[in-house]
Structures are given as structure tokens and as C-alpha cells.
Amino acid sequence: MAPTLHGATPRYDAGLQQVGEGVWAWIQPNGDWGEANAGLVRGTGASAVIDTLWDRTLAREMMTAYAPHLAGAPIDLAINTHSDGDHWWGNAELPDGIEIVTSDASLTAMHAEPGPGELGRMGALSRRLGPVPGPLRGMARYVGAMLEPFDFRDVILRFPTRTFSGTLDLQVGGWRLSLLEVGPAHTPGDLVVHVPDAGVVFAADILFVDATPVMWAGPVEGWIAALDRLLGLDADTFVGGHGPVTDRAGVQALRDYWEWLTSIVAREHAIGRSPMDAARIATRDAEFARFGTWVRPERMLISVTTIHRALSGKKPVGHSPVVRGRLFADVATLGRELDAERQ
């Protein structure tokens, strides 16, 4: 079995997996940074894709795997579930002229997020700073490793052509696709795609499975409500944005995580603890044993910071490279501490 994009041993199978009649998930183990999932719904005479990954190389590989299933049913529709680049920067590999749909809030965020040029420069700078002694070393090594597997040099941003708010039902090749806006949560405009006749939900980054979630936008109450909405759908198969295909128990596990983490952050915020201190305390909590094996447990700090800021009446952390660089410096520190404890 080939290693993951980040060079780890895969915890589950990669590639195209059929999850229902005419419905497939594209899976990238192990749900680490940028190891995102996507989907294909093949109908009669037309097909739809959900998300397109982070760079054109990855998108081409996925489209090649889709090709045998597209004979007589070409791609007629694409859906971008949210604004993070690892879910839509491969749009340039889609057929010309097709409709690309996302939420209103997601499109606004797509235009505001740092583009591939900025991310490429950040990766190059991080790799140069990584060997240099000093306070930036930890952050530089962490971000450099995060971005190393991806090639942003030839990414051409192709933005969605149609937006909506609330709900939108679409018909593709005889399939009904129900788009449900459930953000803000992970990002400002998260949406999920329910395929009712197949009993499948493409939950994107509202659902991380055996991988530590990242909450950029919040509020956490909105994310919990989104998970409740998933559990209320007539579906038994859920394709998250990161991690293996799961069932309702996988959705419930993430809900439990948010309930657990929120209670700790609220308690520590009330006595004046910083986000970093609250995250450290969370990793020493007995319940952490349940979640500490998830991929990238140090990503907890991002969500802790978002929850902490909301409790202080502040907006989420901004998305400029400088602001996120400072946050990743703390994420890297927490990661090193967790690694040391495991040794």
C-alpha cells in the first residue's frame, strides 16, 4: 500500500470507493493537512462531482479515476462545499462551461482567502527558514511540511458560477441532490450534499473522521447544530472531508468531541487561561484518550482559539498569512509537546 501524501502509512484504503448505487467517494488517507476527500454521482446521461482537491495534479488523478464511470454520463455539475482551497482549487480540471455551485457565504470567503501564489510563497519561505535557528524554526518546519506535498504553481482559480443560501435542490441525470447550507462552522459558508435516494451524505469538512477537526469560523454551537442536522437526515453513509467513509456513529463521535472540548475551554476561559493553556489542559484530560489518536491532535489549538475568542466577544482569527503564521507557531509547539509525551 502506497504511503499517504505526507508519507505516512495509510490507515485505510485510498482512491475511488463506491458508497451507493451510482455514487462514489474519492478518499485520500489519512485526513492530514490537504488530504481531502471528494465525490462523484453518476446519473443517466449526466454526472455531478463534489469538490476538486488542492492542486491540479491531484485533481487530474481523481478525474482519471472517474473517467470509466463517466462514459455516456459526462460531468454536468460541480459543487464546492466550502472555501478551503483543498476542496476547490482543482476546479480548473473540470469540463468547460459546466455549472459550479457553492453557497453565497462560501464564494465571498473564496475571494477573501489567500490564493495559491501566497500559499506557494509561504511554503517556500517556511522551507528556507526551517533549518535556521531561532523562534520561527518550529512554525517554519511545521508549515513547510504541511504544504510540501502540494504544487500550487499552476493552480488557476476557477470560481463557482452559481450561489445560493439556505437550501437548494438540483437534478442531475435523474438524481436529486439536496444542498444544505450548514455554516458558519468550519468556514463561513459550509454546505453538505445529501443524495436521498442513495442514503449518502457528502458532509465535507463538517465531518472529520478519525482526524482532528479545524474550526476557522465557528461558532462551535453552529457546528454541533450542523452535526445534528446530519443525524436528522435519512442517510446511513457519510463521506467526510477528511478521514474514511463512516456511518452515523462517526458523526456522533465528532459531536462528542465538540461537547467535550467546549466544556473544557469554557471552564478554562472563565478562570483566565489562554488558548494554549486550555489546549494543554485538554490533552491531560482523561477523555483525551478517546480523541488523541485522531490524526493531528495538535490542530485542536486552532479550534480552542476560535472558541476562546468567541467567549471573549471577539471575531475568529483572521486569514492573513501573518496572523495564521503566529497561530501555527503555537500549533507546532503543541505538536512537539504531544510527540514528546508519546515517546
Contact 201, 226 (CB under 8 A): no
285-301 per-position pLDDT tens digit: 999 999 999 999 999 99
CA-atom Rg of the chain in angstroms: 19
240-258 per-position pLDDT tens digit: 999 999 999 999 999 999 9
pLDDT band of 319, cuts 50, 70, 90: confident
Q: Residue type at 332? A: A
Mean pLDDT value across residues 127-152: 85
CATH topology of domain 15-342: Metallo-beta-lactamase; Chain A (3.60.15)
**Alpha helix positions (H), the chain:** 56-66, 104-112, 116-129, 137-147, 220-231, 248-270, 275-283, 288-291, 300-311, 321-342
pLDDT band of 129, cuts 50, 70, 90: confident
Residue 138's pLDDT is 85
pLDDT band of 318, cuts 50, 70, 90: confident
Average pLDDT of the chain is 96
Residue ranges per structural domain of the chain: 15-342
Whether 205 shows a pLDDT value over 90: the answer reads: yes
Residue 128's pLDDT is 80
Mean pLDDT value across residues 112-128: 87
Angle subtended at Cα 30 by Cα 262 and Cα 341, rounded to the nearest 5 degrees: 60
Cis peptide before 30 (omega within 30 of 0): yes
Residue 262's pLDDT is 98
Cell for 158?
A: 476557477
Going by C-alpha positions, the residue among 243, 259, 176 that lies closest to residue 206 is 243
Residue 170's pLDDT is 98
Percent of the chain scored above 90 by pLDDT? 89
51-102 per-position pLDDT tens digit: 999 999 999 999 999 999 999 999 999 999 999 999 999 999 999 999 999 9
Q: Which residue has the higher pLDDT, 134 or 338?
A: 338
Q: What is the dihedral of CA 202, 205, 209, 215, to 10 degrees?
A: -160
SS (H, E, C) 254-281: HHHHHHHHHHHHHHHHHCCCCHHHHHHH
Going by C-alpha positions, the residue among 53, 107, 104, 101 that lies closest to residue 77 is 101
pLDDT band of 29, cuts 50, 70, 90: very high
> How far, in Å, are 68, 86, 102, 137 from residue 109 at the CA level?
34, 14, 11, 30
Distance, CA of 271 to CA of 306 (rounded, Å): 17
SS3 assignment, position 145:
helix
Going by C-alpha positions, the residue among 62, 162, 44 that lies closest to residue 103 is 162
Residue 301's pLDDT is 98
Helix axes 321-342, 300-311, angle to 10 degrees: 120
Whether 133 shows a pLDDT value over 90: the answer reads: no
260-288 per-position pLDDT tens digit: 999 999 999 999 999 999 999 999 999 99
Q: Residue type at 176? A: R
Residue 152's pLDDT is 96
